[in-house]
């Protein structure tokens, strides 16, 4: 894997999460992963927008909205997710 293909978690924290259609969901507050395998499980959403609050998404014990990492399509200036894959 080329060095430029790697992303560190600190590079994702604070990035805006948007759908393919450009709907803003909020920002990445944290990342949840499986400690044994290292598999990325969820992005923890902070500063959720009104749009995302209307969707019935999974929440953690503290009430934070969770975005499945499997829904992430791309990372760059934004984290782009497939809206169809988050609910």
Domain that holds residue 22: 15-85
Q: Is the pLDDT of residue 84 over 90?
A: no
Tell me if 9 is assigned to some domain.
no
Q: What's the predicted TM-score (pTM) here?
A: 0.84
Q: What is the tally of structural domains in the chain?
A: 1
Q: CA–CA separation, 75 vs 19, rounded Å?
A: 12
Domain-embedded: residue 2:
no
User: Is 60 a residue whose pLDDT tops 60?
Assistant: yes
The CATH number that applies at residue 65 is 2.30.30.240
Whether residue 8 lies inside any domain: the answer is no
Terminal Cα-to-Cα distance of the chain (whole angstroms): 31
Residue 68: inside a domain: yes
Q: What is the structure's pLDDT at 1?
A: 44
**Mean pLDDT computed over 13-31:** 94
């Amino acid at each position: 894997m080329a060095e430029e293909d790697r992303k560190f978690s600190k590079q994702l924290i604070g990035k805006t999460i948007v759908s393919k259609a450009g709907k803003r969901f909020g920002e990445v507050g944290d990342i949840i992963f499986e400690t044994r395998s290292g598999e990325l499980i969820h992005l923890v959403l902070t500063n959720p927008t009104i749009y995302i609050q209307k969707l019935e998404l999974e929440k953690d014990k503290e009430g934070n909205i969770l975005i499945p990492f499997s829904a992430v399509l791309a990372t760059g200036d934004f984290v782009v997710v497939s809206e169809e894959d988050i609910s």
